[in-house]
Amino acid sequence: MNETTNQNIRYAFIKSIPVMCGYLFLGMAFGILAQTSGFSVIWVLLLSIFVYAGSMQFIMIPMLASCVSPLTMFLTTIFVNSRHLFYGLSFVSSFQKMRSKIYMIFSLTDETYSVLCACRSMDEQERHRDTWFWISLLDQAYWVIGSVTGALLGKALPVDFTGIDFAMTALFVVILLEQVLGKVRKTKMAAMTGGVISLVCLFAFGTTNFLLPSLVITVFLLSAGQVHEQKKGRHIDA
């Protein structure tokens, strides 16, 4: 590897540290769950490499154990991960310019999306696409390492893992605060808009139904704001 690649990997590692802290522990929780449900380390490894869907992987374990039909599993996956359709909209044009666009689409998890959004600021505009791939790859590596480690240790760990899934919530809080406290105005406004809309939808629709409407409303408001700014810019130029 040349020096530029090494610098990009180091930069990506630093940016992905918050995700590492969450994925290693959550991956271990998934590995332990899979192992105690009768799945071997090989299954855990394959699921983490080729499915790599976080919450859906947790849901898949009891579904696979009870021999749920592929159609049911497919529809469940669509509903659980439907939010990723909205995530990808803001990166369509950027991913098209990348040689690794297929992998970037596949690896766009909640946490990776948050980190990429934080990296997409004006002072990093020249280098961000060179580091996005490494951030995505490192994030998946953390998940794979955590899940395989959990599957290997299994019941041998004398630790109560009750509540370990809260690490994911804590991870999102840290990333959100990083965006709100950042220097880029657009990033701060987008983060605060998403946070406020999510809270409103949480009280309006309840804990099980708030995610999809909050995403739809947030995307609509941010898209409308972007269109307004573009029209305003064209008007000024004219």
pLDDT for 61-78, tens place per residue? 877 888 877 877 787 777
Residue 200 exposed, middle or buried by CB count within 10 Å (0-12, 13-18, 19+): middle
What pLDDT score does 122 carry? 44
- Does 219 lie in the same domain as 125? no
- Does 232 lie in the same domain as 129? no
Rounded to the nearest 5°, which phi and psi values hold at 61? -60, -55
- Does 195 lie in the same domain as 163? no
- Does 112 lie in the same domain as 37? yes
What pLDDT score does 42 carry? 93
- Does 191 lie in the same domain as 175? no
pLDDT, greater one: 165 or 96: 96
- Does 82 lie in the same domain as 178? yes
Q: Which domain holds residue 95?
A: 3-183
Q: Which two tokens stand for residue 66?
A: 């009870």
In 66-209, alpha helices (H):
70-80, 83-89, 92-96, 101-106, 110-119, 128-153, 166-180, 185-205
Of 7-11, 142-146, 182-186, the least confident: 182-186
Q: Which two tokens stand for residue 37?
A: 């449900």
Q: Express each pLDDT in 105-147 by its tens digit.
A: 899 888 888 888 877 754 455 556 778 899 999 999 999 999 9
Task: Give me the number of domains the chain comprises.
Answer: 2
CA dist 118 → 66, 96, 123, 135, 221 (Å): 40, 20, 11, 12, 19
